[in-house]
Structure formats: structure tokens, C-alpha cells
């Protein structure tokens, strides 16, 4: 795949100048063996009084901006160029410990995985558990990939993508009962289903590059969310239930988290009249580049 440049612009508009509180950004892709950062810039207007970078509890890059001036317009522009080397679908042999479900995690790894195995949302009637178990072979062990792939493609085929403008994600039971939601809703739903099978799963926030097909979002590129599942012998593997993608094809990882609330691309506060906020506009472009460049260390 060629180099990709991601332009992500967010603009907040207010009726009158307001005081801005702290704003936190998770916009820089998460560098790895399959994703290398060539260049990155972040422009904020008005210029913040301070801008510092930290690694959160999951090792994600987080930028934190504070402000000392009022304004009626607040703009964030992130531009990042990456080399994306998609990982092929994982291949486990029948002798590998994670090939068949059920399987056991290594005792040395389980303490680090327990929070990704433990369900975070209620399922009082066992509806989500029953849905997850419908992917198992009642006659004996089920190939683990069959479960993961079945859920990924099943959500894409059985559910209807529906943009929502409310903040946050909806409860997984709402997603199941309405058979609809956003990419973040789909990801959370699949994560909770996997956890009910004892499979470690976590939330991924990032971008998707779609050069030649529409997905109910912006053609060419968009912010996006999907799932990682952890399998013995294979590690963390990506599954995108919105598009039926297994592996990292077209997916540009920015942040991983136990819960979607821990991987919000941009959020902050302001001090002013309750009716001061006029609106927010977000635009994302993911553009392929032909030539190679030197990489950051």
C-alpha cells in the first residue's frame, strides 16, 4: 500500500467568545510493525497556552491542550503521513492452543487480559450470551477463527448501519434489539459478545481508508472503530464488523482501550452561556501518496 496522509480537522463554533477548558486529543496513529509514522503535525487555533503529550494506561498517544484566551472559534487540524503495511489474516494450525474454542490463556498472560475478558455491560436475560453462543458448534470444539469471522460478517449482514448524533455508544443490548448502530456501537457489541465466551477483546479507534467503495460513511476516509481479539499464538487480531474486514487492511489504528469511553478522538470543555455552542464540524481525508520518505525513529 502507498503512503497515506490523514487530514483530520475539527471546528467548534460559538455564538460569542468563550473560555476553553482542557481538551484531550487521540489523533496520532499508534506506531507498530505494521504502521510507521513518516511525519505528524497538530495545529490548534487559537494557539493553546500549553500543549503536552502523554501515554495513557494503554500506551496511546494523548495530546492535552490548555488555553488562556477567549474565542468564538476553536479549530484542531491533525496531519499525519503513515506507511501502512496490512497484516494478512492470521493463520493458526490445529496444534496451536488457540485454534479451537474453548481454549485456555497462559497463566502468565491472563492477569494482563482479565479486564478484557470480563464483560462490562449488563445482560440480565442472557440475550447477548445466547447470541454469542449461537456461533459455537454444539457437537464439539469450534475453530476459533470460525467464531470470530462469523461474528464479524454476521453483524455486517444482519445489522443496519445507522448514524447517531448522541454522544457515546449505545448499550450492546440496544444494538442487538434494534439491529442497528454506528461503527462504535458495532464494535462494543462484538466485544461484549466475545467476552461472554471468555475471549479477550478490546476497542480500537482510528481511521479507515476506502478508495473505491462506500460504507455508509465518508468515501475515501473516515474516523472509525473496530475490535481486537487476543488469541494464544496469534496475539491481538483486528476484526471490523462494520465492513466485514479481518486483519488490518484499510484500518489505521490510533488507540486501543478496554471501553469506548477511553478512546475518544477529541473532547474538551468550555465556560460560557449554555446556548453559546453553535455546532461542530469534522472533516477527514485519507489520501494515498506515491513517493517514499524517511521515517521518524
Q: What is the pLDDT of residues 104-153, one digit of tens each?
A: 999 999 999 999 999 999 999 999 999 999 999 988 899 999 999 999 99
**Alpha helices in the chain, H assignment, sequence order:** 110-117, 127-133, 144-158, 172-178, 183-195
* pLDDT of the residue at 291: 44
CATH number for domain 3-85+263-289, candidates 2.60.40.2250, 3.40.50.12160, 2.40.50.140, 1.10.8.60: 2.60.40.2250
With 70 as the cut, is the pLDDT of residue 84 above it?
yes
Residue 149 φ/ψ, nearest 5 degrees: -65, -40
Q: Are 187 and 203 in contact (CB under 8 A)?
A: yes
* CA distances, 51 to each of 25, 214, 240, 251, 269 (Å): 10, 36, 33, 28, 16
Over the stretch 219-260, which tens digit does the pLDDT of each residue have? 457 899 999 999 998 999 999 999 999 988 889 999 999 999
* pLDDT of the residue at 167: 81
**Do 100-249 and 3-85+263-289 have the same topology in CATH?**
no
Q: What angle do CA 166, 169, 174 make, to 5 degrees?
A: 100
Nearest by Cα to 29 from 255, 200, 185, 291: 255
Task: Give 237: exposed, middle or buried? Use CB within 10 Å, 0-12, 13-18, 19+.
Answer: buried
With 80 as the cut, is the pLDDT of residue 89 above it?
no
Cell numbers standing for residue 238: 483486528
Nearest by Cα to 256 from 27, 58, 80, 34: 58
Structural domain boundaries in the chain: 3-85+263-289, 100-249
Over the stretch 30-43, which tens digit does the pLDDT of each residue have? 999 999 999 999 99
DSSP tally for the chain: helices H, then strands E = 5, 16
**The domain over range 100-249 is classified in CATH as 3.10.620.30:** yes
Cell numbers standing for residue 79: 496531519
Q: Is the pTM of this model over 0.75?
A: yes
The C-alpha cell 450492546 sits at 172
Amino acid at each position: 500500500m502507498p503512503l497515506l496522509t490523514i487530514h483530520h480537522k475539527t471546528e467548534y463554533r460559538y455564538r460569542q467568545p468563550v473560555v476553553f477548558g482542557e481538551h484531550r486529543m487521540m489523533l496520532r496513529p499508534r506506531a507498530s510493525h505494521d504502521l510507521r509514522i513518516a511525519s505528524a503535525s497538530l495545529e490548534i487555533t487559537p494557539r493553546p497556552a500549553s500543549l503536552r503529550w502523554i501515554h495513557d494506561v494503554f500506551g496511546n498517544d494523548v495530546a492535552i491542550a490548555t488555553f488562556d484566551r477567549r474565542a468564538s472559534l476553536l479549530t484542531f487540524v491533525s496531519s499525519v503521513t503513515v506507511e501502512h503495511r496490512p497484516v494478512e489474516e492470521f493463520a493458526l494450525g490445529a496444534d496451536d492452543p488457540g485454534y479451537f474454542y474453548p481454549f485456555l490463556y497462559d497463566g502468565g498472560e491472563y492477569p494482563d487480559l482479565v479486564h478484557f475478558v470480563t464483560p462490562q455491560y449488563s445482560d440480565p436475560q442472557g440475550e447477548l450470551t445466547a447470541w454469542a453462543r449461537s456461533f459455537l458448534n454444539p457437537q464439539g470444539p469450534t475453530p476459533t477463527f470460525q467464531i470470530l469471522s462469523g461474528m464479524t460478517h454476521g453483524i455486517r449482514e444482519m445489522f443496519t448501519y445507522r448514524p447517531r448524533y448522541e454522544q457515546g455508544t449505545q448499550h450492546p443490548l440496544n444494538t442487538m434489539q434494534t439491529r442497528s448502530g454506528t461503527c462504535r456501537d458495532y464494535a462494543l457489541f462484538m466485544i461484549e459478545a466475545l467476552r461472554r465466551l471468555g475471549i479477550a477483546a478490546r476497542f480500537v479507534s482510528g481511521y479507515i481508508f476506502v478508495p473505491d467503495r462506500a460504507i455508509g460513511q465518508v468515501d475515501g476516509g473516515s474516523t472509525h472503530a473496530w475490535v481486537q481479539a487476543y488469541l494464544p499464538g496469534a496475539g491481538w487480531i483486528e476484526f471490523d464488523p462494520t465492513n466485514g474486514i479481518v486483519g488490518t487492511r484499510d484500518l489505521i489504528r490510533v488507540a486501543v482501550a478496554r471501553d469506548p469511553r477511553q478512546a475518544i478522538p477529541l473532547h474538551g470543555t468550555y465556560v460560557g452561556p449554555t446556548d453559546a455552542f453553535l455546532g461542530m464540524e469534522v472533516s477527514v481525508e485519507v489520501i494515498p501518496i506515491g513517493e517514499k520518505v524517511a521515517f521518524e525513529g
